[in-house]
């Protein structure tokens, strides 16, 4: 059984090729102004990695904000459903999956079969997602990839507003004018994000084990802040940015067999 999962996000399209429960190919491409075209390229790249072609695929399931325009897709699945399925597949004891992407953060509670039972999504503002880090990095005039290591150097952080990117950026500028150090400001950025996301998760209720996925899961500064706010250590799977695509590929495998999802 060979299936494909596509995650058409706002910034990137991720694709996973799954063969008999094993990932044999993966690829990601910037979504740009044409996510459907980006998805075509990501599928091609992932298939090339797996030495397969489209005719070898039994089923393709899409997820993500642009899933309705996914090329070649036989079905779709919600982002929350994909997160739950992949989280439990990778971490069998997982019961809470947190997914923090470029424009959105969400948390999902699931059962031992990887079926979603409840979920919450942050408000329509990027302050709880990766775009917030990008905006604050520009304000600090540092590279995005340097934000996490900078934050880990700080022993304290000044509070900033995480209710809106614009307000947060204004607070960062004020801290710069007060000559706060860049490490302390970077930690303040991650602490503000973690405050917002942990509040969202507590509304849902935390069921251990807690898994953190999405591209932001690769940022050590955010992970440290979230662990402090939740007072636990989140589990981060390998390739956390591919969780949605993997979940979609797993759903595709189930649907290809004609069994209930």
CATH label of the domain that carries residue 258 = 3.30.420.40
Distance (Å, whole) CA 123 – CA 146: 27
List the domain range (segments joined by +) for residue 81.
1-91+240-261
Residue 170 is predicted with a pLDDT of 73
Judgement on whether residues 223 and 255 belong to the same structural domain of the protein = no
Listed in order, strand segments (DSSP E) in the chain are 2-8, 12-19, 22-30, 59-63, 75-76, 96-100, 105-110, 116-121, 210-213
Judgement on whether residues 191 and 213 belong to the same structural domain of the protein = yes
Judgement on whether residues 121 and 190 belong to the same structural domain of the protein = yes
Mean pLDDT over 10-34 rounds to: 95
User: CA separation (Å) from 18 to 164, 251, 257, 259?
Assistant: 39, 11, 14, 17
pLDDT in tens, 85-99: 999 999 999 999 999
- For the record, the structure tokens of 73 come out as 């897709």
- For the record, the structure tokens of 156 come out as 């304290």
Contacts of 29 (CB under 8 A, 6+ apart): 12, 13, 38, 39, 41, 42, 45
Judgement on whether residues 156 and 245 belong to the same structural domain of the protein = no
Judgement on whether residues 137 and 23 belong to the same structural domain of the protein = no
Judgement on whether residues 97 and 223 belong to the same structural domain of the protein = yes
Report residue 110's pLDDT band, with 50, 70 and 90 as the boundaries: very high
Residue with tokens 């969400």: 106
Largest distance between two CA atoms of the chain = 62
User: CA separation (Å) from 100 to 41, 68, 240?
Assistant: 24, 21, 10
Q: What percent of the chain has pLDDT over 70?
A: 93
Check residue 58 and report its DSSP letter: S
Judgement on whether residues 33 and 15 belong to the same structural domain of the protein = yes
Which region among 23-27, 92-96, 110-114, 183-187 has the lowest average model confidence (pLDDT)? 183-187
- Mean pLDDT, the chain, rounded, equals 90
Judgement on whether residues 103 and 222 belong to the same structural domain of the protein = yes
Judgement on whether residues 223 and 258 belong to the same structural domain of the protein = no
Residue 261 is predicted with a pLDDT of 46
Domain count, the chain: 2
Judgement on whether residues 76 and 145 belong to the same structural domain of the protein = no
Judgement on whether residues 232 and 249 belong to the same structural domain of the protein = no
Judgement on whether residues 117 and 67 belong to the same structural domain of the protein = no
Q: How many helices (H) and strands (E) does the chain have?
A: 8, 9
Residue 206 is predicted with a pLDDT of 85
Which region among 29-33, 164-168, 194-198 has the lowest average model confidence (pLDDT)? 164-168
Q: How many CB atoms lie within 10 A of CB 37?
A: 15
């Amino acid at each position: 059984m060979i299936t494909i999962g596509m995650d058409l996000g706002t910034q990137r399209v991720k694709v996973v090729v799954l063969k008999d429960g094993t990932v044999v190919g993966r690829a990601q491409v910037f979504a740009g102004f044409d996510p459907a075209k980006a998805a075509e390229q990501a599928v091609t790249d992932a298939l090339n990695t797996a030495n397969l072609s489209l005719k070898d695929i039994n089923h393709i399931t899409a997820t993500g904000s642009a899933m309705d325009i996914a090329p070649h897709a036989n079905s779709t699945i919600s982002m929350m459903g994909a997160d739950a399925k992949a989280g439990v597949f990778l971490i069998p004891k997982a019961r809470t999956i947190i997914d923090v992407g470029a424009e959105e953060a969400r948390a999902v509670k699931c059962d031992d079969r990887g079926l979603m039972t409840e979920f919450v999504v942050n408000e329509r503002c990027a302050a709880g997602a990766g775009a917030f880090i990008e905006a604050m990095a520009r304000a600090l005039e540092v590279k995005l990839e340097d934000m996490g290591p900078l934050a880990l150097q700080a022993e304290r952080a000044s509070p900033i507003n995480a209710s809106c990117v614009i307000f947060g950026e204004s607070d960062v500028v004020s801290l710069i004018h007060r000559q706060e150090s860049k490490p302390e400001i970077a930690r303040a950025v991650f602490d503000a994000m973690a405050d917002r996301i942990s509040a969202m998760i507590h509304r849902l209720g935390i069921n251990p084990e807690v898994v953190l996925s999405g591209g932001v899961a690769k940022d050590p500064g955010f992970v440290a802040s979230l662990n402090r706010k939740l007072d636990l250590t989140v589990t981060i799977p390998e390739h956390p940015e591919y969780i949605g695509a993997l979940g979609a590929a797993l759903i595709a495998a189930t649907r290809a067999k004609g069994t209930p999802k």
